[in-house]
Each structure stands twice: as C-alpha cells, then as structure tokens.
C-alpha cells in the first residue's frame, strides 16, 4: 500500500554488477541510507559515514536534491560553512508518542529523524486510554499545523507504552502496570482516529532503540538500556536488534524478585525491584514531607545537597546494580545506558550502581559492562518511537527492494518472531571500511 507523500523509486536495473551505473546506484543508496539512519547530516559528515569521497557525495546530493529526494540547507559546522542534507520534508512526517505513568510526550519528525515539534503533557494517575488518545489527536494536529503541514502528511505513528507490549498483538501483555490502557488495542484505536498506520511497543525498548541509534549506545551491538522512572524497565539490544522476547516482557527488570519477603508490587508479585526503587517506593522514604514527592523533587533536593535525598538515590543505585548484575550475567551487554527521570541524578545514582554491579556480576577478563548515563535524557523514548515508526512503516528514501510498504495495524508477527524487526530489510550498520564499493 503506497502512502501519499512518499516517493517510490522506479525499480532500477542492476543487471550489470560492477558497471559504472550500478556503482553510482549503490553509492546513492548508501547516502540515502545514511541520512535515514542518522537523520540530518552535513556533506562532510556524509562523506565520513559512507566512506565516499566528498566529491562523490557532493555530486550525488546535488543530483538527488534536483530530483526532490533531498533538501540542502546552508549551515555551519565548527565555524565553517557547510551544507546540511536532509530528506526533503515532502517525504512525510512521523509522530512518536510516549505514554508513561504520569506524562505524555509527543514528537513530530520527518523521515530524516529531524524533530520538528515536540509536546509534553502531565497526566493524571491512572489516566485512561480513550480520553488521552483524543487529546493526542488534537496535539498531533496542533504540531502538524505548527510546522505548516496538514495532518495528511503524517505517515505513521510510533507509540511507546509504560508496560510490556505483546509484539504479536500490540496489546499490553501484563495487566495492572498502566491500568487505564490494559486490553486496549492502542494501534487500532489511534488508527481509527488518524487513518495512519500505528505501531506500538514498550517504552524501554524504544528508549534502547534511540540510545542505540543516536545516543549513548551508538555502535554497541550488545547493549542494555535501563529506564528508571515511575517504574523500572530495560530494553535489550542483542546483536544490534531490540530483543522483545516471546510475549514482549523481555527486559522487565523492574519485576525481578529481589526480596522474597518484600512488599507486594503493583504487578501482584512480592519483593520486585520496583518495590525498592519505583517512584512510590522512593517517595515513601520521605515521610512527613508535604505533598507528593516526585522523582524530580528527589533529584532536585539531592542536587541542593539534601543528605537524605542523596542517600535514597544511592540506595536505589545499589538495588539497581544488583538487578543489573543478573541481567548482565544473562545477556552480557557491553554497555548499559541508564535513562529515565532518576538518571538525572547522574553519578549520585551511577557510582553506587556500578559498585553493586561489579560486586555481583560474574567477572570477565575484559571487565564488566560499562555503565553510562543516557544522552537523550527524557526524550529517548519518544525519539525511539519515531525511529520505530520509520522502521516499521519502512519510510525510507527507498531502494528498490524496500519500495514503500506499510504494515497496517499491529506490528506484523511475521517479522522475525521474538526478535522484532528493527531493520527487517537493511543491515543497521554502515561500515566505513567498506569504502565506496557496492557490497
């Protein structure tokens, strides 16, 4: 099904492998791939990423800009004039939506990953899917208007929910974690309102995807993303792909049992990690304080030097480290990226976390996983939702084999069950070593 606003390339001939024309064809595809993958790039960066010579890049960009696939804008890079290359905005817009327990974030981006507009909305506890999706609709329209685009230009929507999502159905797999959204076919509900394909995934998976593709885990093919916010979740990057598990609950580290005799968790089990480091557990460490103690309040207090807040954050770091040691023994990531609201505490959280992780994980000769703070901050999930939508709807500058095809409705079950297709067609990495030759 073709989507309005995208350009489908004529199928070109590659009958003569190694010929001059097929070489140029391959180089063009390489450049377009790089732009879809990394978003907006300058010509110099393009040359570095693709391994093509600056002259080749310049020629191809000029040619593609003339045919309307790319747009060039003058910019400056390290003080020098440069040409910034993006996919032409007519290639369509993509919306990323992140629904967490107390907040909703929206980003409107073009197919070049360039975020054009963002919105944020605080939410009530136990917000309900129907009314929030109505508001999302209005916010999407507002964002599209703000960039001078009609709502018709939106090609796809990626949604991240604060609960495990079954990759086969797109419905929340575990009830009780995002109560107002349980059993709601979010993709279909939003699709009925927008008439565009909608793809749903777990928030931590999307955070992992964003940090892997454009953040702190770039190029690390074995990585984990830990989101410490209202709840705790992890997204796993295994061999450069997001690993979702059989029913979507892979990486639900927040519900790892740490204390058999602990408190009952909102998931129904006892002594989960979340009963120790979830937002409400941390807030309970501040008895007698007035009002709701939010995670941001704790971080702000700790920044201001409040000893109790610092200790609470350090303890949370220790618990997280123990849980991560288990995760590290199981999937053995090279790098663990910590994101979510509590990660704003920085080293106050990370150094006790590293310490506990090193103490409990299996020692390897090469040393344990590296623990770093996320680079994308609170935007990781919503950016991940954008990337997810771009991948799933296969909105790309289009090589013949991925001539635009959209998968309507829930994520297609046929794409590598278990390992959801982040790049169902392409290989995710463009290695500069391959030089300018077609692979």
Partner 1 sequence: MAVTSTPEAPVGDLVLSLRGIDKNFGAVQALTDIDLDIYSGEVVALVGDNGAGKSTLIKILAGVHPQDGGTISHDGKTVSINNPADSNNLGIATVYQDLALCDNLDVVANLFLGHELGRATINEVEMEKRSWGLLRQLSARIPSVRIPVASLSGGQRQTVAIARSLIGEPRIVILDEPTAALGVAQTAEVLNLIERLRERGLAVVLISHNMADVQAVADRIVVLRLGRNNGEFKVADVSYEDIIAAITGASDNAVTRRAQARVDSADATAAAATATDTELPKEERP
Q: Which residues bind partner 1 (CB under 8 A)?
A: 102, 119-127, 131, 135, 138-139, 142-143, 280, 283, 289-292, 296-297, 300-301, 304
Q: Least CB distance from residue 266 to partner 1, whole Å?
A: 13
Q: Which residues, listed in sequence order, are joined to residue 199 by a DSSP beta bridge?
A: 158
SS3 172: strand
What is the rounded distance in angstroms from the CA atom of residue 407 to the CA atom of residue 198?
9
Toward partner 1, which CB reaches closer, 136 or 327? 136
Pairing relation of β-strands 41-42 and 70-77? unpaired
Toward partner 1, which CB reaches closer, 136 or 389? 136
Toward partner 1, which CB reaches closer, 119 or 213? 119
Q: Least CB distance from residue 295 to partner 1, whole Å?
A: 12
Cα-Cα-Cα-Cα dihedral of 210, 143, 170, 188, to 10°?
A: -160
Toward partner 1, which CB reaches closer, 297 or 370? 297
Toward partner 1, which CB reaches closer, 183 or 288? 288
Listing DSSP states for 82-124 in one string gives EEEEEE-GGG-EEEEEEE-SSEEEEEEEETT--EEEEEEEE--
Check: CB of residue 339 under 8 Å from CB of residue 380. Answer: yes
Q: Least CB distance from residue 79 to partner 1, whole Å?
A: 25
Q: Which residues, listed in sequence order, are joined to residue 241 by a DSSP beta bridge?
A: 238
Residue 372 has a CB neighbour count (10 Å cut-off) of: 19
What kind and span of H or E run contains 50? Answer: helix 43-50
Phi/psi for 96 (5° steps) reads: -110, 135
Cα-Cα-Cα-Cα dihedral of 325, 267, 413, 409, to 10°?
A: -130
Check: CB of residue 120 under 8 Å from CB of residue 143. Answer: no
Max alpha carbon distance in the chain (Å)? 77
Q: Least CB distance from residue 423 to partner 1, whole Å?
A: 34
């997001």: which residue's tokens? 242
Q: Least CB distance from residue 88 to partner 1, whole Å?
A: 26
Toward partner 1, which CB reaches closer, 121 or 408? 121
Toward partner 1, which CB reaches closer, 88 or 298? 298
Q: Least CB distance from residue 320 to partner 1, whole Å?
A: 23
What is the rounded distance in angstroms from the CA atom of residue 253 to the CA atom of residue 333?
14
Q: Least CB distance from residue 351 to partner 1, whole Å?
A: 24
What is the rounded distance in angstroms from the CA atom of residue 229 to the CA atom of residue 341?
5
Toward partner 1, which CB reaches closer, 60 or 342? 342
Q: Least CB distance from residue 381 to partner 1, whole Å?
A: 17
Q: Least CB distance from residue 55 to partner 1, whole Å?
A: 41
Check: CB of residue 234 under 8 Å from CB of residue 252. Answer: yes
Toward partner 1, which CB reaches closer, 3 or 104? 104
Q: How many CA atoms lie within 13 A of 254 on its CB side?
A: 29
Q: Least CB distance from residue 144 to partner 1, whole Å?
A: 11
Toward partner 1, which CB reaches closer, 53 or 289? 289
What kind and span of H or E run contains 310? Answer: helix 307-331
């Amino acid at each position: 099904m073709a989507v309005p606003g995208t350009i489908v390339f004529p199928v070109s001939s590659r009958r003569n492998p190694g010929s001059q024309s097929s070489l140029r064809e391959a180089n063009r595809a390489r450049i377009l791939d790089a732009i879809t993958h990394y978003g907006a790039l300058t010509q110099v960066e393009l040359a570095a990423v693709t391994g093509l010579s600056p002259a080749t890049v310049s020629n191809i960009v000029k040619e593609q800009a003339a045919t309307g696939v790319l747009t060039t804008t003058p910019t400056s890079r390290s003080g020098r004039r440069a040409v910034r290359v993006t996919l032409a905005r007519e290639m369509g817009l993509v919306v990323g939506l992140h629904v967490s327990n107390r907040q909703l974030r929206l980003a409107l981006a073009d197919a070049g990953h360039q975020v054009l507009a963002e919105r944020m909305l605080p939410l009530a506890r136990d917000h309900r899917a129907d009314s929030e999706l109505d508001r999302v609709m209005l916010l999407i329209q507002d964002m599209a208007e703000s960039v001078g685009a009609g709502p018709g230009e939106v090609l796809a929507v990626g949604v991240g929910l604060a609960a495990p999502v079954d990759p086969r159905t797109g419905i929340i797999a575990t009830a009780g974690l995002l109560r107002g959204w349980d059993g709601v076919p979010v993709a279909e509900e939003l699709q009925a309102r927008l008439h565009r394909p909608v793809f749903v995934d777990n928030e931590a998976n999307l955070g992992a995807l964003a940090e892997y593709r454009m953040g702190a885990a770039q190029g690390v093919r074995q990585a984990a993303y830990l989101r410490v916010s209202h709840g705790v979740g992890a997204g796993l990057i295994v061999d450069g792909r997001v690993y979702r598990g059989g029913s979507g609950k892979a990486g639900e580290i927040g519900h790892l049992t740490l204390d058999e005799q602990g408190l009952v968790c909102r998931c129904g089990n006892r002594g989960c990690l979340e009963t120790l480091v979830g937002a409400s557990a941390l807030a309970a460490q501040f008895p007698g304080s007035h009002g709701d103690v939010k995670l941001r309040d704790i971080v702000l207090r700790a920044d201001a030097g409040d000893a109790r807040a610092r200790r609470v954050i350090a303890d949370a770091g220790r618990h997280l480290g123990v849980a991560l040691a288990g995760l590290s023994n199981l999937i053995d990531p090279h790098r663990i990226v910590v994101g979510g609201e509590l990660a704003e505490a920085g080293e106050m959280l990370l150094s006790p976390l590293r310490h506990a992780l090193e103490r409990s994980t299996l020692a390897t000769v090469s040393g344990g996983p590296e623990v770093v703070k996320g680079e994308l901050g609170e935007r990781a999930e919503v950016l991940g939702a954008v990337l997810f939508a771009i991948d799933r709807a296969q909105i790309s500058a289009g090589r013949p084999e991925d001539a635009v095809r959209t998968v309507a409705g829930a994520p297609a079950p046929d794409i590598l069950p278990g390992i959801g297709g982040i790049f169902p067609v392409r290989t995710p990495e463009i290695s500069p070593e391959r030089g300018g030759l077609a692979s």
